[in-house]
Amino acid sequence: MIKFVNAKLNLGLNIVRKRDDGYHDLETLFYPVGLHNGTPENPEPFCDILEIIPAEKTEFRFEGRNVDCPLEKNLVYKAWKVFKESYPELGEYLITLEKHLPDGAGLGGGSADASGVLCMLNELCGFPFSKEGLAKIALKLGADCPFFIYNCPCYAEGVGERLVPVDLDLSGWWCLLVKPEVSISTKEAFAGVTPCKPIFSLKETIKLSPDQWQGKMVNDFEGSLFPNHSILKDIKDRMLENGALYASMSGSGSTVFGLFRSKEDADKARHVFNDHYATLCLL
């Protein structure tokens, strides 16, 4: 079995309060990105590739972009382990990840891989878990992981695990994603934020046309990270100057994305960022 694993955008992200357990409550809007990459309409690749096949003993192989961590900390391995703990009857498989999505990008690539493994093992085992049950397993791996079980536009609260599908369709819009050579840890991202209720309700803002989002839909991490990583603000500013109708950082960065009405407009803007990783995605 082979699965093409897409990424996600945080169209907006508000950090509303710090909890007693040290974590933060968020309000965010997840949107899948990369679903159409590799098709004739959007031929450039933007996904990871997972393959799981029966084997005499369970083994893991990693290809493509280097994932620099020990096996026991790799989310693909951890997903297999937590599935086996939940379903001891699991057989033996060769699990191969071909990594292409950029790391530390705020796009949820690692979380997507983990949830992809859970979904594939669930199917190979005859669907012992519902989506809701699989999402509970996925939460053990990370706050972003449950989203990729559903993989549809969702409003999220809590640490990102309380998901409600939303009626938001950006079909036909084009997204330009630009990632500079900047790495941001979760610790750094949260260190400078001051939790507060947003001025504009995210639930209300998404009812507007995307060309009305700028200034109303925000990512609270930008306030703390832009002063320390000016390249991110520069990318966002240049995105808007070159035709993006909405631009933002995704998650805790360091990818900045812009929304465009046409592929021509997005491709024209991409040429401004030849010195960075940049790709186009049809939404």
Active site residues: 8, 144
First to last CA, the chain: 25
Q: Are 236 and 244 in contact (CB under 8 A)?
A: no
Q: How many CB atoms lie within 10 A of CB 262?
A: 12
Instruction: Give dist(CA 5, CA 110) in Å, integer.
Output: 10
Instruction: Give dist(CA 179, CA 169) in Å, integer.
Output: 25
Q: Are 168 and 30 in contact (CB under 8 A)?
A: no
User: Angle, to 10 degrees, between the axis of helix 109-124 and the axis of helix 131-139?
Assistant: 140
Instruction: Give dist(CA 18, CA 196) in Å, integer.
Output: 9
